[in-house]
Chains A and B, each alone.
Chain A
Amino acid sequence: MFELDRFSVAFGSATALRQASLTIRPGDRLGVVGESGSGKTMLALSLMGMAPEAAQVSGRLLIDGKDMSAATEADWQRLRARKVAMIFQEPMSALNPLRRVGDTVADPLRIHLGMDRAAARAQALDLFREVGIPDPEARLRQFPHEMSGGQRQRVLIALALACDPALLIADEPTTALDANVKLRITDLLVRLAEQRGMALLFISHDLASVARATQDIMVMYGGDIVERGPTAEVLHDPAHPYTRGLLGARPDPAPQQRDAAGRRPRLPTIPGTVPALHALAAGCRFSGRCPVERPDCATVKPAMRAFGTRSAACHALEVPA
């Protein structure tokens, strides 16, 4: 179990992650959505004990009830791969091009679990089968450049699963992939999480993938968690004005025809751009771009307020009594 309690990561006056609180239980599939600079990757790195050294970190991270504030790099190295593992976005650059992929996947088994060469190799073969790599015996001996993007992403998933982690963090795992491959990798991650009872933190700006992969969703903006709840409910009926803007701006695959004057319907947009981290408002990060902004929004940080199974951080939120 992973718990973040008012966890912040700052670089001087620039706060990359502000007072994030969340709990991830075994088997949870949690999506994190947000645009560049929203803090979603910083959240992932924090859970891996990999927040940049130059950053000021405050708040607490508990793993299975144990406070990690005093953990050393050696402590983290014992936990990584076994407790928490991560799949990165770029399947092209995340594998060592000079090593056979089977050896790359066998490494953590030998380092973390102390397996001998033959046992690690046999385990790597099982992992290749589990993630659906065709002809796994032959594939173990291949180099990354001999594989397609989708197959490489499967190798990275096998690598992350090697030491049977309690939490798998997937940071934009499908972004670089073609549409059909994207669906297959998303479904693979869901199946693996269900079969292994593993928690999955699925980070993406692609709402379609997140909708498919997760039970719950968190929406981030400017380093804040602004909304969370069951994925289907949040996407169907977003409460936070930023979530509404984000969902509205996403083009619809339904055909859009021109009107009688030959004009094509425009997409709804969020006015302005995401400000730089050091220029964010002290109160609600979304102030300045928000369509329902109130006078005190820029100065007073809205608290996360619960309604039913959901919660959102917005001063304008009407919470039913």
Chain B
Amino acid sequence: MILDVRNVTRRYRLPRRALLQPPPVLVAVDNASLSIDRGQTLGIVGESGSGKSTLARMVMAFERPDQGTIRFDGHDLNALSTAELRRLRQRFQMVFQDPYGSLDPRRTVGWSIAEPLRVMGAPDTARRVDEALDHVGLRAADAGKYPHEFSGGQRQRIAIARAIVTRPALLVADEAVSALDVSVQAQILNLLMDLQDELGLAMLFISHDLAVVASICDHLMVMQHGKTLESGPAHQVLAAPSHPYTRSLLTAAGAAA
């Protein structure tokens, strides 16, 4: 098991509504548990405000849970020192939604892809950048270009190259294909499946689109308002959803067929 999340809760304090009352509390993630094995993909579906991105940020150790533990390859992320966490970080990486905002427009693509390698002081960065570009279907010569010279789909390939350049065991993809056109989305989903086969990646794949999740996930978790409504093997959840909310998501995704 590469990732093991146990009973994780995250609360946010909201602004006070009245002077003498305690500030209201939003439970963004309420007692969530999940685990992912090597080479497997877990999908989290939910709408905005469901807590799926908060959960992803905790898995990435960008945020600490109020309760519960997150173990990556046996290490409790919130018990590690800063230096230990930095070393471990190269093994779990993230791809974000916006292929326009997540790359520095003033730096070459090669510089951006090499950034995680520089942070960990890795040798031989140029060769590894070339390898990463090759993995995502771009050419080594593309390393010298700037983000504006690429289409949205190619930029998402670059973001994926940056995420895999440290040879991670886990990739967290938060709405990584949501901003893309349908035909480009299919190409990127196929690329993620190829990378999983080649590198044995485990993936935490977050999306509001149940059809997208169905195409790529082994296990599925449905969230709403911070709560886990159901989870299980993807084919079971999709074939026989137990919660009415999951059924309504299926209706929304399937009306074209």
Within 8 A of A (CB), among B113-162: 151-154
Interface string of B4-44 (1 = CB under 8 A from A): 00000000000000000000000000000000000100000
Q: State whether A269 touches B187 (Cβ < 8 A).
A: yes
Contact partners of A257 in chain B: CB under 8 A? 235
CB of B230 within 8 A of chain A? Answer: no
- Judge if A14 is at the interface, Cβ distance under 8 Å: no
Q: How large is the interface on B (under 10, 10 to 19, 20 to 34, 35 or more residues)?
A: 35 or more
Q: Which of the residues B210, B250, B255 comes within 8 Å of A212, measured between beta carbons? A: B255
Q: How large is the interface on A (under 10, 10 to 19, 20 to 34, 35 or more residues)?
A: 35 or more
- For window 187-243 of A, CB contacts with B under 8 Å fall at 205, 207-212, 235
* Binary flags per residue of A247-262, CB closer than 8 Å to B gives 1, else 0: 1011111111110001
Verify if A180 is at the interface (C-beta below 8 Å from B): yes
CB A181 to nearest CB in B, in angstroms, measures 8
A92 to B217, CA, bound (A): 32
B175 to A: closest C-beta gap in Å? 12
Contact (A268, B210) CB under 8 Å given A179-B248, A207-B256, A273-B153: no
Q: Are B254 and A208 in contact (CB under 8 A)?
A: yes
CA distance A252 to B214 in the complex (A): 7
Which listed residue (A179, A209, A267, A273) contacts B189, Cβ 8 A? A267
* Known contacts A205-B181, A253-B238; is-contact A179 B253 (Cβ 8 Å): yes
Bound complex: CA of A264 vs CA of B209, how far in Å? 19
CB neighbors of B among A12-54 (8 A): 35-36
A179 CA / B234 CA spacing, docked (Å): 19
Q: Which residues of A lie under 8 Å from residue B181 when comparing CB positions?
A: 35-36, 205, 274
* With A35-B181, A180-B248, A273-B153: A251-B256 Cβ-Cβ less than 8 Å: no
Q: Are B186 and A268 in contact (CB under 8 A)?
A: yes
Q: Does A183 contact B (CB under 8 A)?
A: yes
Chain A contact residues, CB within 8 Å of chain B: 35-36, 149, 178-183, 205, 207-212, 235, 245-247, 249-258, 262-264, 266-270, 273-274
Jot down 15 A-B pairs with beta carbons below 8 A, ordered by A: A35-B184, A180-B248, A180-B252, A205-B182, A249-B186, A250-B211, A251-B211, A252-B257, A253-B250, A255-B238, A255-B239, A257-B235, A262-B197, A269-B187, A274-B181
Q: Which residues does B use to contact A, with CB under 8 Å?
A: 39, 47-48, 151-154, 181-187, 189-190, 193, 196-197, 208-212, 214-216, 218, 234-235, 238-239, 248-257
